[in-house]
Every structure is written in structure tokens, then in C-alpha cells.
Amino acid sequence: MATIRVEGLRKTYGDFPAVVGSDFSVDTGEIFGIVGPNGAGKTTTLKMLAGLVEPTAGVAEVAGRDAGDPEMRRDLGFLPEESPLYEDMTPRSYLGFFADLYDVPREAARERTESTLDRLELEHRERRLGDMSKGMKRKVAIARSLVNDPDLLIYDEPASGLDPLTTNYVLEFTRDLADQGKTVVFSAHNLYHVESICDRIVIMNRGEIIARGTVPEIREEYGTTAYHVFTTVPVAGAERDHRADTERYQAVVDDMAAVESIREAAAAADGEVVDIRTREQSLEDIFLDLADETPPEAAAGGGRAPSEAAAEEANAQPSDGGRTGAEPSNGSREQ
């Protein structure tokens, strides 16, 4: 059964199209990546799935129910891109506070919190959150998304701004959650993250999904192979390969016909082809090519739309009554 069904999902802010009509589904236990550059519409999509932003049109369903249904939030863990934490609390008191919000019985909450913090290898559990490193705070925010033991996790840039070690740790932890049967939808602009842990991805640009599939499918459909051809004599388009001990030239071409032309040109100059190496285009390159090809109709999407900063503000601060995530109350959605 599809855990998530999205059809014709659209969000406009004023006349600004942040998400222009997405379709995708995510299966139970899948780890699904939404990738795209800044302003692509990733956060807006995730917030619609988490019931925090009301779609302008279309369907966003979780387990057959509207994503905006407040009941859905009880079984959801949302990790916002920036998660402001109560600086004066310790991880234990902070997580206990959120467990209370979800009515998790005290003892169960304590056990769950401790085991999550163990798995996240979070030390200094009695230290003030305000005195913790960025990586530690991110781990606490992740632990917070798990206090209610949700089946669905929606993570906005879970590893953004973390050092490589912590990044790996957080990504592996996320993969483990999916292995335990949880469904994970997360956004990233670093394609390396996606490649290493996602079952399927969509690539968004300017509010539109411009490619979709598993990483190998995307490679096959959109990727190209570069052929590095090494010759003993100079041929058109080749450059001297200074790394070689003997005189050698290198040309980079993108199909076998061009490789044959080089072979013929080398033979005509009394030389030969001594080596051919292939290099698959990286997902990053594919992504950049795709983003470049997207027609600029939605190009207004580059900058920040006017009401955005105010809306973010309202969404971010727990201390002023705003919503930081998916607390289980009947909070209204951002329009």
C-alpha cells in the first residue's frame, strides 16, 4: 500500500508558484529523496506532506487520509530544516517535554528517549542545549522526531551544515530507520546524500519535478558516459597527458563513433590508441544538466517571495506559540 499519495499538488504564494503540480507516491518502508537546488520547492512539498502548509490545489494523502488531518500528525515525525531548540533545556528535559505533548506514558518515553540517544551516540545528556554543537543539536532534533515512535518521518535536509562524519552518521541512522520499517521522505541538495541512501528520488527545479526514479534509472535515462581516449600521437581535440611517463595524449568524447574517429586519426599519423577509459557522469552532473535544461517559465522562482520571511518566522519559534513541527495539537496550517 502506498503510504503517501501526491497528485497534482500545487502551492502558490500570491501568484508565485512554489510547487507547480507534483505527482508521486511513496511506499511503506521506502526512503524517498526530494532533491533540488535552493528554492526548488522541496520544503514547501515536505510541509504540505506534514500538514503544516495547506496546498493550493491537488492531493497530499498519508495512509489514505488527507495530510492536513490533525490526527495524521500523531503518527508523523517532522524534522524542520532549522530546528530551534529551547536553549535552556537539556536533551532529556526537552525530549520529555515533547513526549508529554504526544501523551507518551512517562516510563515508555524515558526508555524510548534513552535508547534513541544511545543509538545516536549522543553524549552529555544533561548539558544545556544552548551549549551543544550543531551536530549534537541536530541529533536531539532527530530524537525529538522519534518521541512518538511514528511510522512516517519527514526530514528537511537532515544533514545540512554538518561535518562529514556527523553527516554520515545521520544518513546511516536515517537508513536504519527505514530498515526498521519506517517510511522516510527527506530533502537534500547534496546529491551524494541521496545516492547513498535513497530507494527512489525526484529531482525538483523551480517548483517542478524534472526527473524521477531510482538512482540507477536516472543514470540510465539521463546520464552519459565519457570516453577518455589515450593516443601516442597528437590528434584533433586531444591534449598532452602530463601525468604519463611516455609521450601520450588524451581526448574526451561521448560516443563510440568518436572513439573510432580518434583511432583512425591516430593510425593515419603513425600512432595508435593505447588506452580507453570510461567515466560515468556523476549524479551531480546529471542534476546540473537537467536543471539547466528546465525552461525558464517558472524562473520567477529564483528569489524569495515577499511573505516568505514572515511565514518562516511564524513557523520557527516555539517560544512565541508558533509551530516548530508536527506537534499533535489541532494547529492550523500555513495558508
Ligand X SMILES: Nc1ncnc2c1ncn2[C@@H]1O[C@H](COP(=O)(O)OP(=O)(O)OP(=O)(O)O)[C@@H](O)[C@H]1O
- Per CB under 6 A, residues contacting ligand X are 13, 16, 18, 36, 38-44, 81, 189, 301, 304-305, 307-308, 311
If the CB atoms of residues 46 and 104 are measured against ligand X, the closer one turns out to be 46
Q: How far is the CB of 306 from ligand X (least distance, A)?
A: 7
Q: Are 266 and 235 in contact (CB under 8 A)?
A: yes
Q: How far is the CB of 190 from ligand X (least distance, A)?
A: 10
| Residue that is written with C-alpha cell 538512482 in the block | 215
Q: How far is the CB of 309 from ligand X (least distance, A)?
A: 8
If the CB atoms of residues 270 and 320 are measured against ligand X, the closer one turns out to be 320
Q: How far is the CB of 282 from ligand X (least distance, A)?
A: 20
Q: Are 171 and 159 in contact (CB under 8 A)?
A: yes
Cβ atoms within 10 Å, residue 227: 17
Q: Are 72 and 50 in contact (CB under 8 A)?
A: no
* 288 Cβ contact list (under 8 Å, min separation 6): none
Alpha-carbon span 92 to 80, nearest angstrom: 20
If the CB atoms of residues 225 and 307 are measured against ligand X, the closer one turns out to be 307
Residue 146, CB half-sphere, CA atoms under 13 Å: how many? 24
- Rounded (10°) CA dihedral 86, 304, 18, 85: -10
Q: How far is the CB of 184 from ligand X (least distance, A)?
A: 17
The residues pairing with 184 across neighbouring beta strands, listed in sequence order, are 31, 153
If the CB atoms of residues 16 and 173 are measured against ligand X, the closer one turns out to be 16
- DSSP structure string for 155-216: EESTTTT--HHHHHHHHHHHHHHHHTT-EEEEEES-HHHHHHH-SEEEEEETTEEEEEE-HH
Q: How far is the CB of 264 from ligand X (least distance, A)?
A: 48
If the CB atoms of residues 22 and 148 are measured against ligand X, the closer one turns out to be 22
3-class secondary-structure state, position 22: strand
Q: Which three cell numbers stand for residue 15?
A: 501568484
Q: Is the dihedral of CA 178, 183, 188, 194 positive or negative?
A: positive
Q: How far is the CB of 39 from ligand X (least distance, A)?
A: 4
If the CB atoms of residues 271 and 301 are measured against ligand X, the closer one turns out to be 301
If the CB atoms of residues 190 and 224 are measured against ligand X, the closer one turns out to be 190
